[in-house]
Copies of this chain bind each other. A is one copy, B any other.
């Protein structure tokens, strides 16, 4: 029998100290790589989260289903690991100014939207998150909340330095910038991300304001 505890390969699940080098044949590292590579390949071929089946993944990876279920307790755990694994590292913010940091954050989002793999993750996350509550909560805690916090911190520094208005609503700033970028990435297929000046345009629009002379006069 091999129906004992799983030893999941990566982030989420238990992975309890495999300190005891067990006796039998060791798990194949290549199998794991093949599984992740197969998921990635299926994704690139246009599959959604719902189209990914354990059987399909196993076949694409040239792997038996048991090899998957020996590592993950169920489909959702596998997909959580697969998605988390695709996350790219956060950008290092230069800190030269709050405006510059916001621009760099948006530039990071823009590049993610241009990268096919990252784009797929975003699309999947936003379009099918509901069906996998575990994946949803993990992604929220690990990615979304963290990035919101980054923007909030930047905004706080900007307020302290006088770059931003003293009465700035931190969440509002984050929402307008992130929202605009997400709309382009996830929602509207015809709003391109190609323009490298996009982050600068967005941040400066929000900082300088879009009101014209009539609006300034009316204040």
Contacts and interface: CB of A to CB of B under 8 A. Distances in A.
Contacts of A210: 164-165, 168, 173, 206-207, 209
Nearest to A51: B131
A172 B158 contact: no
A50 B210 CA distance: 41
B215 A191 contact: no
Interface string A178-213: 111111100110010000000001100111111111
Interface residues on A, range: 35 or more
A17 interface: no
Given A210-B206, A212-B158, A183 B172 contact: no
A188 B48 CA distance: 22
A162 B214 contact: yes
Most buried by B among A159, A172, A173, A179: A179
Contacts of A178: 179, 183
Given A128-B131, A175-B184, 9 more contacts: A48-B130, A123-B130, A127-B128, A159-B212, A165-B212, A179-B183, A182-B187, A205-B206, A208-B215
Contacts of A209: 206-211
A178 B210 CA distance: 15
A219 interface: yes
A166 interface: yes
A173 B206 CA distance: 10
Given A127-B130, A206-B209, A207-B209, A175 B166 contact: no
A50 B144 CA distance: 25
A206 B128 contact: no
B176 A215 contact: no
A15 interface: no
A164 B191 CA distance: 22
A219 B148 CA distance: 27
